[in-house]
Structure 1
Amino acid sequence: MNFELRDHTADIAVSATGDSLEAIFGAVADGLAAASCGEIPGDTGERFSLAVSAERRDALLFDYLDELIYLRDVRVELPVDHRVESVERVESADGSPEWHLEASARGVPLAAIDAREVKAVTYSEMQLERIDGSWEAYVVFDV
């Protein structure tokens, strides 16, 4: 586990580290799942894929986490066991640069767990930076 949950006034924060962008995005997503549920069953739920694009790297992290919260609500499943296959800078259809992520997660039915509602990801104090060869992230969630 490359993340740590931290209390943050009325919210909760995830501090994470990783050797690559894929690792750091996955670690923060795993932290979101841990903030939502203390104990995640390992024998239930099916994997699903998702893709997210944004114009900046930090916006991609925000949009990825926001999409996981949205999918939780729409699918009535908590996304867990995150696998981020790729995070890369690409050229959009109009020729401008953008960031793109390909990932998957396992959806655990909310009825199978005792989950706390994480309402939203915030830009408040958000950090995503490379320090001494590894990536560090800090993200605050509204609970």
Structure 2
Amino acid sequence: MTPHQGQRFELREHTADIAVEAAGNTLEDVFAAVAEGLAAASCDETPDASGDRFSLSVTAESREALLFDYLDDLIYLRDVRVELPVDHRVETISHSDDADETACWTLEASARGVPLAEIDAREVKAVTYSEMRLERVDDEWEAYVVFDV
């Protein structure tokens, strides 16, 4: 699993859990890089051509909640579809304010689902808010996310 241009991630030891530290040129890049880190935490290698692409949309009240909900949806989809989402692409992240002054963040993304029967996958149980960080640093976005394993 290789991140796309403009993205990078590293897996970090975190007590009994695992953390992903990621960076990207854009908010979309860093979200996709964290998702690639989630996939890497789940499996060492995935088949290059196996699995079909699927789309997903996520809406949340804040940027951090959007990242949490996106990763939570990927874990949920893994369990429901019995596929590991890989090769993540986040096409757009947009922000709008409702008339009642509630912020609304939306993400449009896609991933390729590799059947779990084709890989040796470890279970990542959940994404956590513990120590979550999402911020702009200099000319790029950085994220740190802890997963319960």
Structure-2-length-normalised TM-score? 0.93
Work out the number of aligned pairs and report it: 143
Q: Does 1:66 align with 2:61?
A: no
Q: Does 1:136 align with 2:135?
A: no
Q: Which residue of 2 aligns with 1:107?
A: 113
Q: Which residue of 2 aligns with 1:25?
A: 31
Q: Which residue of 1 aligns with 2:54?
A: 48
Q: Distance in 2 between matches of 1:41 and 1:90?
A: 38
Residue 88 of structure 1 deviates from its aligned partner by 1.1
3-state SS in 1 of match to 2:107: strand
Structure-1-length-normalised TM-score? 0.97
Unaligned runs of 5+ in 2: none
Q: Distance in 2 between matches of 1:115 and 1:98?
A: 34
The equivalences for 1:115-130 within 5 A come to 115-130=121-136
Residue 96 of structure 1 deviates from its aligned partner by 2.6
Residue 93 of structure 1 deviates from its aligned partner by 7.8
Q: Which residue of 1 aligns with 2:19?
A: 13
Unaligned runs of 5+ in 1: none
Q: Distance in 1 between matches of 2:148 and 2:98?
A: 31
Q: Distance in 1 between matches of 2:55 and 2:20?
A: 23
| Percent identity over paired residues | 73
